[in-house]
Structure 1
Amino acid sequence: MKKTKSIRLFLCLVLMIILNLVCFPIGILAENQTDQGALVPVIAFSLDTFYNGEPQALAMVNPVAEGPDLISERIKITYKGIQTNGETFPLSTIPPSEAGTYQVFAAYEGDEAYQSIEDKKEIQIKPIELKTSEFLAEKPITKIYDGNTTVPENALKGLGNRGVLDADINKVSFDYKFASFLFKDVKPANPNVVILKEITISGDKGKNYRIVDEKIDEKNETKPLTSIDISLAADILPKPVEVLLVGQDKVYDGTPNLHDYQLSVNKTDLIKGEKLATLATADFYPYYGAVNIRQKDVGNYYVWASGGFYLSGVDGANAENYSINNQTIISRKKYNITPATVTVIPAYVSKIQGQADPALTYSVWQDDSGDSFNKGLYADDVMFGSLEREAGEVVGTYDIYLGSLNNSNYRLNLADGANKFEILKKAAVVAIYGGNDYSHGGNGATEKETESPVPYMSIALLLLLLIAGAIFFGKNRLTKMD
């Protein structure tokens, strides 16, 4: 009996010890809960977000609705993780600002109103998604036609994207393996573009961005691109070429017009293997002189023209790939306007011995072809000076010379000037008009018989007498009748 009683006492003692060990922590916890209060703070974590260039608080510890405020010193939020640039973000109370994946720890040390609480969550700050359609260059992409699709280094500057934050513009760069125009011609059938192959992002802030396919997949998400080609609007401008004007010498024709000419393109301005011709329109009028100055007179001049010509492709060359850089063209050398040849034919002129010389008249004939002549000079041209005759005042014939007759635009030839001026003997003229007969023989000694002159005076007197007699006898007859 005593042995059984001792065992029971031992078992009761062990049970009491176990109960004390179990209940003591519960009592302590109950005592602590009584000290901290019954309310539970609310921990709110952010959803995955995008990089914005600023530190981002990814968690908040808030009081319960209509509950007392939390003690800010008892709130503790820390972060650690891996940034997209591969760098480790060490445990810190400072919110991260770079794109990456972070473990966010949030806790509150209890107070009289609130219990202690802690929680954690993995949150991503995603890179900003850049659209391929939002790429742009610092200035329009252009080049002068060069016969190929290559993009010169200076044609594409300041490649960027509208999605990059203003603060990061100088910290984000875009690189590409090579670039080319889609078409080589100035005016292709479809708008031209520059294609940039395999675009990549670099720079201090480059890992905060990624280029995505603008098409949305089945999950309503964009897909990052691994091999990226983009296209930018671009233009190829016509290559300027110089048009050359080649003239010819001409014979003076009273106008400044250049009649025979050649138009061509400076071959050094053309892309190798291409040929162009320059053609004139109906409004093409080249002239002798200087730019905007027309010269019609004999001399040595450049030839020039303004407008009225265009380019045409030869052997398949596209004329639209070129432009004329000199709508006013002038020859590289001078050409001569030489005098026109005319023939001067004096008229026959005479005078009575002792009188003053009359004007020496003439006619002028143009020598156009060597086979025919046209009367007169060109346009309103006139001759200056006068003809001259052979010296002498005795009766006889004299030759006529060009004398001072001239016009610098003409070369004068004298034709048939011999014996064109005559001095007549004064006595011979009197004999003609006075009715006397003079011998014009060699020595003047022989007198020829001449017919009697008609008695005009006698006939007139006879007629008067007849009229008077008729009147007299007529009166007497009338008297007798009365």
Structure 2
Amino acid sequence: MKKTKYIRLFLGLVLTIILNLTCFPIGVLAETEAEQGTLIPIIVFSSDPVYNGDPQILAAVNPVADGPDLNPELIEITYKGISANGEAYPLSTIPPSVAGTYMVFAAYRGDEDYQNIDDKREINIKPIELKTTEFSTEKPITKVYDGNTSVLENALKGLGNAGVIDADINEVIFNYKSATFLFKDVKPVNPNLIILKEMTVSGEKGKNYIIVDENKVTKPLASIDISLGANILPKPVEVILTGQDKVYDATPNLHDYQLSVTKTDLIEGEELGAFGAENFYPYYGEINSQQKDVGNYYVWATGGFYLYGINGTNAENYTINNQTIVSNKKYDITLATVTVIPAHVSKIQGEADPALTYAVWQDDSGDGFNKGLYADDVMFGSLEREAGEAVGTYDVFLGSLNNSNYRVILADGTDKFEIIKKEEAVAVYGGNDYNNGENRATEKEEELPMPYMGIALLLLLLIAGAIFFGKNRLTKMD
């Protein structure tokens, strides 16, 4: 009996403990619930924000209007989901910072003013949409004309889009299947473009972006063709000036020339020519010094020449890289030939020699002669005559007469100077003079006084003689 009594006491104690342990949480909960207020906090979820590179808080628990503040320690917001790159985002209180789909849990553990509340919602952080019109490169896209539409490897250096945030520039890569120019010529009818086929985005942050065509309703997410403005620059070519020798004509002008384009500068199968316009004036000399005198010179030209296409070649695809051109060799300006014809000059014996004058005629290569020298040229020095002071004729020689730009030939200088005996002189003829390329022969005559007194005396003697002989004859007849 005694043993049974202890057993009953032990079981009663155990039962009491179990009941106390079972009922205690209910009492505590009831006490807690009794302490909570009647206000309900407001949970606000974000509406599918767009990726911005920063952690994004996708929910907020706010107090009611004009109500008491919430206790921050009782607010609970957690995130769980899958990012755009396919990686799982485990349950965390840290807001996600990359594009993806996330389940957001928000709760408030009630206090004396607010009730306990919780909610959840699926929210997408959307990738940034990159517009096709906002692609660009570090430098303008250009290439020198090469006869095709291919794009050089470095032409698209720094390919990017204005929609990529600064922090991601080095972590976003744009890939394309091919790149070609729309036109091959320098100046097509419509503006030139580069077409990038099947553009995609990659890189560590690439999944946070998609390329869209804002001009179309459908926005492809995988790849898209885009176009970029581009230019083809004309290919420089060298123009060569070929001259020739010429006879001196008192100008530096190169009259006969040829212009040619260096063939190695041209695209295979294309052909160009060059021509000089009305304002094309090639000359002998140096780059900054035109030379007209006899000598050996390069020939030059600056501007005034143009390209033209041959056999269908488009000349606009090329440009002249040397607006000042020069020949590969030197050419001669040779002596012009002139003929000097002395004038007949005379003097009275004992007088000083007058100037030996002359006429100058240009040799124009067999078609005749032109009087005088070129332009304002003059002769230097003078003719000389054969020595002597006796009455008679003398030959005339070139003497020191010259001009360094002319080959001077003396013609008909024999007996062109005459010394006249004073007593026999009736007239003295002056010769021609030469001045400033013009020669004028001036004839001078000096008239001696006629012997009128002698003639009169002779007539008186004849009359007197006739009278005398006439009287004698009459006397004899008587």
TM-score by length of 1: 0.80
Matched-pair contact (CA < 8 Å) for 1:252–1:409 = yes
- Written as runs of structure 1 = structure 2, the 5 A alignment for 1:149-168 is 149-168=149-168
Q: Give the whole-Å Cα distance in 2 for the aligned partners of 1:109 and 1:360.
A: 136
SS of aligned partner of 1:455: helix
Q: 2:224 pairs with 217, 224, 228, which one? A: 228
Kindly indicate whether residue 74 of structure 2 is the aligned counterpart of residue 74 of structure 1.
yes
State the one-letter code of the partner of 2:63. P
Q: Give the whole-Å Cα distance in 1 for the aligned partners of 2:274 and 2:361.
A: 39
Question: What are structure 2's unaligned runs of at least 5 residues?
Answer: 1-22, 428-446, 464-478
State the one-letter code of the partner of 1:396. G
Question: What are structure 1's unaligned runs of at least 5 residues?
Answer: 1-22, 437-451, 463-482
The answer for the alignment partner of 1:177 in structure 2 is 177
Q: Give the whole-Å Cα distance in 1 for the aligned partners of 2:169 and 2:244.
A: 63
Q: 1:353 pairs with 320, 328, 349, which one? A: 349
CA shift at 1:186, angstroms?
0.9
The answer for the alignment partner of 2:141 in structure 1 is 141
CA shift at 1:430, angstroms?
8.9
Kindly indicate whether residue 384 of structure 2 is the aligned counterpart of residue 374 of structure 1.
no
* 1:215–1:390 Cα change, 3 Å: closer
| Count of residues in correspondence between the two structures | 420
Kindly indicate whether residue 451 of structure 2 is the aligned counterpart of residue 455 of structure 1.
no
* 1:252–1:421 Cα change, 3 Å: same
* 1:312–1:434 Cα change, 3 Å: closer
SS of aligned partner of 2:224: coil
SS of aligned partner of 1:454: helix
The answer for the alignment partner of 2:381 in structure 1 is 385
Matched-pair contact (CA < 8 Å) for 1:242–1:269 = yes
State the one-letter code of the partner of 2:456. P
The answer for the alignment partner of 1:108 in structure 2 is 108
State the one-letter code of the partner of 2:369. F
Q: Give the whole-Å Cα distance in 2 for the aligned partners of 1:456 and 1:147.
A: 113
SS of aligned partner of 1:47: coil
Q: Give the whole-Å Cα distance in 1 for the aligned partners of 2:50 and 2:421.
A: 130
CA shift at 1:110, angstroms?
2.5
CA shift at 1:51, angstroms?
0.6
* 1:194–1:323 Cα change, 3 Å: same
Q: Give the whole-Å Cα distance in 2 for the aligned partners of 1:359 and 1:179.
A: 88
1:83-117 Cα distance to aligned partner (Å, 9 max, x none): 11222222211111111111212222232333333
State the one-letter code of the partner of 1:264. S
Matched-pair contact (CA < 8 Å) for 1:179–1:197 = yes
CA shift at 1:355, angstroms?
2.8
The answer for the alignment partner of 1:442 in structure 2 is none
* 1:425–1:216 Cα change, 3 Å: closer
Q: Give the whole-Å Cα distance in 2 for the aligned partners of 1:100 and 1:456.
A: 153
Q: Give the whole-Å Cα distance in 2 for the aligned partners of 1:56 and 1:122.
A: 14
Q: Give the whole-Å Cα distance in 1 for the aligned partners of 2:426 and 2:127.
A: 131
CA shift at 1:175, angstroms?
2.1
State the one-letter code of the partner of 1:291. I
Q: Give the whole-Å Cα distance in 2 for the aligned partners of 1:264 and 1:195.
A: 37
CA shift at 1:383, angstroms?
0.8
Matched-pair contact (CA < 8 Å) for 1:134–1:163 = yes
Matched-pair contact (CA < 8 Å) for 1:213–1:225 = no
SS of aligned partner of 2:184: coil
CA shift at 1:189, angstroms?
0.6
* 1:179–1:430 Cα change, 3 Å: closer
The answer for the alignment partner of 1:61 in structure 2 is 61
The answer for the alignment partner of 1:18 in structure 2 is none
The answer for the alignment partner of 1:329 in structure 2 is 325
Q: Give the whole-Å Cα distance in 2 for the aligned partners of 1:169 and 1:176.
A: 17
CA shift at 1:456, angstroms?
5.5
Kindly indicate whether residue 278 of structure 2 is the aligned counterpart of residue 277 of structure 1.
no
CA shift at 1:411, angstroms?
0.4
Q: 1:250 pairs with 227, 234, 246, which one? A: 246
* 1:131–1:430 Cα change, 3 Å: closer
Q: Percent identity at matched positions?
A: 73
* 1:215–1:254 Cα change, 3 Å: closer
State the one-letter code of the partner of 1:115. Q
Q: 1:404 pairs with 395, 400, 407, which one? A: 400
1:171-201 Cα distance to aligned partner (Å, 9 max, x none): 2222222211100111101011111122121
The answer for the alignment partner of 2:472 in structure 1 is none
Q: Give the whole-Å Cα distance in 2 for the aligned partners of 1:312 and 1:171.
A: 50
SS of aligned partner of 1:383: coil
Q: Give the whole-Å Cα distance in 1 for the aligned partners of 2:66 and 2:383.
A: 132
The answer for the alignment partner of 1:444 in structure 2 is none
State the one-letter code of the partner of 2:124. Q
Matched-pair contact (CA < 8 Å) for 1:105–1:119 = yes
Q: Give the whole-Å Cα distance in 1 for the aligned partners of 2:125 and 2:368.
A: 101
Q: Give the whole-Å Cα distance in 2 for the aligned partners of 1:244 and 1:193.
A: 35
The answer for the alignment partner of 2:128 in structure 1 is 128
CA shift at 1:433, angstroms?
5.7
State the one-letter code of the partner of 1:269. D
Q: Give the whole-Å Cα distance in 2 for the aligned partners of 1:254 and 1:400.
A: 28
Matched-pair contact (CA < 8 Å) for 2:132–2:213 = yes
Q: Give the whole-Å Cα distance in 2 for the aligned partners of 1:419 and 1:128.
A: 111
* 1:25–1:337 Cα change, 3 Å: closer
TM-score by length of 2: 0.81
* 1:69–1:371 Cα change, 3 Å: closer
CA shift at 1:453, angstroms?
5.3
